[in-house]
Amino acid sequence: MTRRVEAVAVVGRDAPLWLAAAAIQRSLGPAGVRVQAVELPSWLASADCYSTLPSLASMHRLLGVDEAKMLRAASGVPVAAQRFSNWAKGAPPYLIAYDDQAGEAGDLPFVQYWLKGHREGLRAGIEDFSLGCVCARAGRVPLGPADTEAKISASYGYNLDARDYAEALKQLVTNRGIEILSGRIADVKLDGERVIGIELEGGERVEADLFVDASGAERVLMMRLPGAEFHSWRDRFSCDRVLTASATQFKSLPAFTQISAFRGGWIGIHPLQDRTAITAVYSSDGISDQTMIAQLSVLARLPVSGEAVVSELKPGLLDRAWIGNCVAIGEAAVAMEPLAAIPLHLAQGCISHLVTLFPATAEEMPEAMPYNDVIRAFASNIADFTQAHYLLNGRFDEPFWEQSREAPATGTLRGKIDLFSARGEVSLRDNETFSEQNWTLLFLGGGIEPDGFDPRIDLLADQPLIELVQQRLRAVAELAKNMPSVDQFVGALGQLQAVGVS
Amino acid sequence: MNQPLQIVILGGGTAGWMAATALVTMLPRQRYSVTLVESEEIGIVGVGEATLPQMKNFNDLLGIDEAEMMRSTQATFKLGIDFVDWGYLGSSYVHPFGVHGPPASGLAFHQRWQRALSAGRDWTIEDFSFAIAAARANRFDFPAAGKSTINSTYAYAYHFDASLYATYLRRIAEGRGATRVEGKVHDVEQDAKGDIQTLLLESGERVEGDFFIDCSGFRSLLLGGKLDVEWEDWSHWLPCDRALPVPTERTGDLTPYTRVTAMKAGWRWRIPLQHRTGNGYVFSSRFIDEDKAREELLASLDEPVLAEPRLLKFQAGRRTKSWERNCVALGLSSGFLEPLESTSIYLMQIAIMHLVPLFPGGRPDARLVAEFNRRMDLEYDRIRDFLILHYHLNSREDGELWRYCRSMQVPDSLTRKIEIFRHSGYIEDYRDGLFNAPSWLSVFLGQGLRPEHYHPLADAIPLERLLAELDELRTDIAFRIDEMPKHATFLKRYADAEAANHSALHKAEARL
């Protein structure tokens, strides 16, 4: 006689722990599944910041989280784009806007029309046709839906104070009646590839049918399972250190996160309501932690104050993120540098795949197989997107950047770059996080100049093409002009409906 | 001003004229010219008479008038395929061009249905598919334009006479600027690099080109013959290698679906057209000889025979690359997959649609070639796995072929799909390539594979509510089906070929 999964124990720390516990309870609680959270000591430093994609908003909706409340609690700021500066010597910064839809233009992706226009002398850059980019430059927040007819739209992610956000989520989990145990793991009881139960240092025992490992790089359950293997991506990603610190807040909040390359890595500048979070991601081969800390203010061009904390980064993934009755989510499954604002998105993606593939029985879990496949593809696409920034860098005569240009890349990424270089086209794969438009902004921003375009473009005569492009330029500018500024948006968080956030 | 790039299409069957029409329509004329070389002496392999809904998109894109096309090709509508005797003798299931019920709360519909079954209901999944209900009732109407009602949840395709379709497209392509050259290819010249340069015709005429599209059918004159692209054999998975097509008289009740009936050593198709019915027996010569197959076929037909069956030979598999140097192969010259799921014309169409955006402006660019081949690999592999599923998942005891297929080693990707579906009804979806989750669902269930469990999320819905919603859906479908016109009636009103012929005759007489 088979039995359903009745008890789930989520073991981990910080936001991924709470997101997983809340989401599983929300979806499967009504089906009779009981969720327990086992909270390990936090790894968050006071300066840490979660930089997130717009997808987090849909997770919040699923969990019934009120956006305005959450942003108030976590000192959150909406972000329309990331701005990449100094990734090539002498090149201007480029933007990658979030959830940006370039809109429909005839039968082909808009970039095709732009490519031809560009060849004919059009001066406006691709970013001028992106609502998200235009908003980001003007310090505005793109609220959707913008232009439903032409399908021009954009959305925003957040910068959140990590500790405050995790604390707010913990509150939510508590309010939902989920049992929370806190402490360190003393022992994990195994039966082959299955976890039978865990014992905390305080003596509490937790038994469950399904265990979720949300412990980040510690992989506290996974690494005790026979057959768990961590596959390192260090050959592709040189950075192995993350430093976080703070500076004072911007007087007027920008609508983008700045990602500036320097000779040994990159520095992220994340505006928050009450401070500015700084991240430095670098390779310890090229620069020591002490030097990095000493140079941070100069490199960030902001006076850094307070505590600066360095942590280790080991990019890679578990060959099998689900073994037996234990499922890794987020960094426990896939560890990657936060260049593309993906740490919470990784957790969220894993959680949503876990809910989709929630085991039908407690005894047998063949769902592990498709879960492992889908997580591998999901992670691989994000890793490709992240690595593309490095591969396309134009910083010559610097060992770190030379090495980044020459690092091994997947055939998929090479193929994507090749196709874009030839035709300005993006071919998306299964389980992509980033859209065609994201890849387009990345490739063009990274300096690829396509050799040609879709031949169907020439079916449109020059005059109508110019009109189409100019009309689009005006439409985007007009839409952006009516969006609230970040300061207005943040100022209105107190008055809930005022800015129309839901 | 540069000379336009000269595209030469070799072969004027369905593939050739589809390519010609699409290229003269979608590529700018100042940059490309299209020439098609064909010989009236070479027949068309007209087996692919049933299509998929993508056909309609293709025609729409080319600005083809649907009713006119249907009148010109003796076409009927198609809502799916009825598989008879496949899983086991006496069984029948329809693979519809549509979904089974709408998804709800992030849960595939069939999970709710499975819960209803475990609560004691005896509803079949077919009760929840609008396309299947309409097909079974021999009714047809266009899908509703709104997104919210159940009668918008399907698509349709056509059955048509493929050689008439080729003829119809030829008129359009020539009208739009394609040049047709009559003649048989006697030899092919390559340049120093190995690219194809010239087709030498038996008449002595030389047809030069920059880019060649091989639509020469099974012979694969350019891609296989000249450029030596290897053949990958799939016959260990798909052992059928012969077909005996035979036309019969028009069926009385014009079914809006293709019927494929499993036989001892293969399967038999039945495709209703306006003027006749297409039939044929696809079989494996390893398991039956030709005479016996002919006998079985003739004994099984519903209507009187109009011509003798004629034998076609083939092998399942494909050229390892569809694009090599300055040559792309379309249709049979690039690969062969039996027409069990009406994929032959789809494969031509999708190759054209993948080719157009990547079409070289001059010499082929290796980057574009790689992308095209990647996309086509995916198309072939997905269809291959889906076809194998029909053979592998059977419990027939009446033929050696069925025992062989049941126990053969199938691709790993397929084994895993079957295992997870068996456990919990989970079906993985993918972005590119044919056959989405509803297709897999209908074949899994139809072939007799019932999931052992349903998704726990279905337990989160109160049972009373779940049952009431499903019941309402069944009733809604049944009610709406009763309101639909009969397929034959609808067709007569919309695209009657006979009336069209009559009126053409009247016009001709009037001119005389």
Whether residue A502 has pLDDT greater than 60: no
d(CA A215, CA A205): 18
d(CA B342, CA B14): 14
By Cβ distance, the residue of A28, A370, A455 closest to B456 is A28
Angstrom distances, CA of residue B495 to CA of A16, A161, B70, B163, B242: 59, 65, 6, 18, 34
Does a cis peptide bond (omega within 30 degrees of 0) precede residue A450? no
d(CA B299, CA A327): 57
Rounded mean pLDDT, B481-502: 91
Give the active site residues of B: 78
Give the relative orientation of helices B109-118 and B463-483 as an angle to the nearest 10 degrees: 110
Contact A455 B356 (CB under 8 A): yes
Is residue B200 within 8 Å of B186, Cβ to Cβ?
yes
Residue A480, chain B, CB below 8 Å: the answer is: no
Is residue B100 within 8 Å of B438, Cβ to Cβ?
yes
Whether residue B509 has pLDDT greater than 70: no
H/E element, A243? strand A241-247
Provide φ and ψ at A312, rounded to 5°.
-85, 150
Regarding beta strands B258-263 and B80-84, do their DSSP bridges make them parallel or antiparallel, or are they unpaired? Answer: parallel
CA-nearest residue of chain B to A458?
B28
> Which residues in chain B have their CB less than 8 angstroms from residue A28's CB?
456-457, 460
10 Å CB burial of residue A255 (0-12, 13-18, 19+) is buried
Query: pLDDT by residue (tens digit) across A322-340?
Result: 999 999 999 999 999 999 9
d(CA A38, CA A55): 26
Whether residue A131 has pLDDT greater than 50: yes
What does the pLDDT read at residue A372? 97
Rounded mean pLDDT, B383-399: 95
Please state which of the ranges A100-104, A476-480, B108-112, B309-313 shows the lowest mean pLDDT.
A100-104
Contact A415 B457 (CB under 8 A): no
Rounded mean pLDDT, B279-306: 95
Angstrom distances, CA of residue B503 to CA of A204, A327, B71, B250, B435: 88, 69, 12, 21, 40
Structure tokens at B482: 């009763």
The residues, ordered by sequence, that sit 6+ positions from A370 with a Cβ below 8 Å of its Cβ are A357, B416, B420, B426, B428
Q: How close is the nearest chain A Cα to the Cα of B82, in Å?
A: 30
Band (pLDDT 50/70/90 cuts) for residue B103 is confident
- The DSSP call for residue B452 is S
By Cβ distance, the residue of A30, A361, A427 closest to B453 is A361
Which residue of A430, A434, A451, A457 is the best one to mutate when testing the B interface, meaning the one whose CB has the most B CBs within 10 A? A430
Band (pLDDT 50/70/90 cuts) for residue A501 is very low
What does the pLDDT read at residue A497? 45
Whether residue A211 has pLDDT greater than 80: yes
- Residue B512 burial (CB count, 10 A): 5
Does a cis peptide bond (omega within 30 degrees of 0) precede residue A145? yes
> Which residues in chain B have their CB less than 8 angstroms from residue A432's CB?
431
d(CA B97, CA B112): 21
d(CA A409, CA A386): 11
By Cβ distance, the residue of B30, B432, B459 closest to A31 is B459
CA neighbor of A333 nearest in space, from A344, A320, A345, A323? A320
- The DSSP call for residue A485 is B
10 Å CB burial of residue A477 (0-12, 13-18, 19+) is middle
Which residue of A3, A4, A6, A27 is the best one to mutate when testing the B interface, meaning the one whose CB has the most B CBs within 10 A? A27
**Of 3.40.50.720, 2.30.110.10, 3.40.718.10, 3.50.50.60, which CATH number belongs to A7-77+161-233+315-380?**
3.50.50.60
Q: Which runs of E-coded beta strand occur in B129-210?
A: 157-159, 179-182, 185-190, 196-201, 206-208
The residues, ordered by sequence, that sit 6+ positions from A468 with a Cβ below 8 Å of its Cβ are A105, A106, A113, A460
Is residue A398 within 8 Å of A263, Cβ to Cβ?
yes
Q: pLDDT averaged over chain A?
A: 95
Query: pLDDT by residue (tens digit) across B136-150?
Result: 999 999 999 876 788
Contact A366 B431 (CB under 8 A): no
By Cβ distance, the residue of A29, A369, A459 closest to B28 is A459
Rounded mean pLDDT, A17-30: 98
d(CA A153, CA A110): 13
By Cβ distance, the residue of B420, B423, B456 closest to A358 is B456
Kindly write down the DSSP assignment for every residue of A345-366, as one continuous string: HHHHHHHHHHHHT--S-SS--T
Structure tokens at B164: 């008439």
Q: How close is the nearest chain B Cα to the Cα of A28, in Å?
A: 6
Contact A370 B27 (CB under 8 A): no
Query: pLDDT by residue (tens digit) across A226-250?
Result: 999 999 999 999 999 999 999 999 9
d(CA A189, CA B51): 57
By Cβ distance, the residue of B359, B361, B457 closest to A358 is B457
d(CA A87, CA A383): 18
What does the pLDDT read at residue B145? 85
Please state which of the ranges A102-116, B26-40, B408-422 shows the lowest mean pLDDT.
A102-116
Residue A419, chain B, CB below 8 Å: the answer is: yes
Q: How close is the nearest chain A Cα to the Cα of B406, in Å?
A: 22
Query: pLDDT by residue (tens digit) across B35-93?
Result: 999 998 876 655 548 999 999 999 999 999 999 999 999 999 999 999 999 999 999 99
What does the pLDDT read at residue A146? 62
Is residue A269 within 8 Å of A276, Cβ to Cβ?
yes
Angstrom distances, CA of residue B451 to CA of A154, A448, B92, B395, B441: 41, 49, 19, 16, 11
CA neighbor of A238 nearest in space, from A94, A405, A382? A405
d(CA A211, CA B255): 53
> Which residues in chain B have their CB less than 8 angstroms from residue A356's CB?
106, 426
Structure tokens at B198: 């010239």
Regarding beta strands A81-85 and A256-262, do their DSSP bridges make them parallel or antiparallel, or are they unpaired? Answer: parallel
Contact A418 B367 (CB under 8 A): yes
> Which residues in chain A have their CB less than 8 angstroms from residue B453's CB?
2, 360-361
The helix/strand/coil state of A375 is helix
CA neighbor of B183 nearest in space, from B43, B38, B44? B38
Counting DSSP H helices and E strands in chain B, the numbers are: 15, 21
Provide φ and ψ at A352, rounded to 5°.
-70, -35
Contact A458 B26 (CB under 8 A): no
Rounded mean pLDDT, B18-33: 97
Whether residue B503 has pLDDT greater than 80: no
**Of 3.40.920.10, 3.40.50.1220, 1.10.1040.20, 3.50.50.60, which CATH number belongs to B5-76+160-233+317-381?**
3.50.50.60
d(CA A220, CA A200): 12
Is residue A425 within 8 Å of A115, Cβ to Cβ?
no
For every residue of B32-93, which 3-state class applies, written as one string? EEEEEEECCCCCCCCCCCECCCHHHHHHHHCCCCHHHHHHHCCCEEECEEEEECCCCCCCEE
Band (pLDDT 50/70/90 cuts) for residue B291 is very high
Is residue B128 within 8 Å of B109, Cβ to Cβ?
yes
Band (pLDDT 50/70/90 cuts) for residue A145 is low
Domain boundaries, chain B: 5-76+160-233+317-381
Query: pLDDT by residue (tens digit) across A337-360?
Result: 999 999 999 999 999 999 999 999
d(CA A11, CA A451): 51
- The DSSP call for residue B181 is E
Q: How close is the nearest chain B Cα to the Cα of A366, in Å?
A: 6
Contact A366 B359 (CB under 8 A): no
Whether residue A18 has pLDDT greater than 60: yes
d(CA A195, CA A179): 20
What does the pLDDT read at residue B302? 86
Structure tokens at A169: 């989520």
> Which residues in chain A have their CB less than 8 angstroms from residue B370's CB?
415, 418
d(CA A231, CA A229): 6
Which amino acid makes up residue B198? T
What does the pLDDT read at residue A498? 39
